[in-house]
Amino acid sequence: DQQVKQNSPSLSVQEGRISILNCDYTNSMFDYFLWYKKYPAEGPTFLISISSIKDKNEDGRFTVFLNKSAKHLSLHIVPSQPGDSAVYFCAASGRNNDMRFGAGTRLTVKP
Amino acid sequence: NAGVMQNPRHLVRRRGQEARLRCSPMKGHSHVYWYRQLPEEGLKFMVYLQKENIIDESGMPKERFSAEFPKEGPSILRIQQVVRGDSAAYFCASSPLPPGELFFGEGSRLTVL
C-alpha cells in the first residue's frame, strides 16, 4: 500500500537552474510532511518540513510547497548545485506518528 | 551528542541463519523506527516502537521478523531463518517526540548467501 508516491525515479537539471521534485500522497490523515536527502551508503538526512497548516516553507535554496486539496507537495531547489545530486525522499506523518516514505527521486545536477 | 548508531554496518548470513540488527537511538530519543531499502527501491516502513512498546508493526512481515526496544539497551530487529530476499539495507531512525524529523543511522547492510 503505497501511501506516498514519487512518480519520477530520476531528474536531471543543469547547474544554476531550478530543480522541482514532486510527491503525492493518498492518506488524508497525514498532517506533517518532510523531505530527506540521501547519498550512497549513508542514512537519509533531513532537509525541510512543512505542517498541514501551511502551504509553503522556505529555507535558503530549498522551498517546499503543499497543496492539501490535491494531496501534493513539491520541493524546489534554486539555484541547483552539483552537490545537490542525491536521492530525495518525500515523507509524511499522521496522528499515529508513524512516517511513510516515497520511493525516492534521483536528482543529478550537471555542471 | 552522538547520532543514531547502528551495528553491524555489514552482516553476511547464510540462508536459514538468524540476523540481529541493533540500533542505539540518539540520547533522549524514545521513539525508534525501522525501515528497509531494497536495491534501487525506496524506504519501506517496517515498525515503529517506543520504549518497551510496539506502536505500529504493520510494515513488518508476520513471520520470521520481530523487533523490540527494551527499557535498557538498543532496539533490536531480528530476522530468523533468513532468505535471499531479506538482503537489503536496514535503516533505523529515532525521534524525541513526534511529529518531527527523524534522525537516521547509517544503516546495516544484510547480505544473505
Integer Cα distance of A89 and B60 in angstroms: 20
Mean pLDDT is lowest, of A48-52, A74-78, A95-99, B2-6, for A95-99
Instruction: Enumerate the residues of chain B whose CB falls inside 8 A of the CB of residue A41.
Output: 106-107
Mutate one of B43, B57, B102 to test the A interface: name it (highest A CB count within 10 A): B43
Q: Which A residues 41-80 touch B at CB under 8 Å?
A: 41-46, 49, 51
* Subunit contact A104:B107, Cβ cutoff 8 A: no
In sequence order, what are the residues at sequence separation of 6 or more whose Cβ sits closer than 8 angstroms to the Cβ of residue B55? A96, A97, A98, B48, B49
**Nearest CA to CA, how far is A101 from chain B (Å)?**
6
Integer Cα distance of A68 and B42 in angstroms: 23
pLDDT of B99 over the 90 cut: no
Q: Are B105 and B90 in contact (CB under 8 A)?
A: no
Query: Can you spell out the DSSP letters for A49-72?
Result: EEETT-SEEEETTEEEEEETTTTE
Instruction: Enumerate the residues of chain A whose CB falls inside 8 A of the CB of residue B46.
Output: none
Q: In this predicted structure, what is the pLDDT of residue A95?
A: 76
pLDDT of B1 over the 60 cut: no
* Subunit contact B99:A97, Cβ cutoff 8 A: yes
Q: In this predicted structure, what is the pLDDT of residue B52?
A: 87
Q: Are B67 and B5 in contact (CB under 8 A)?
A: no
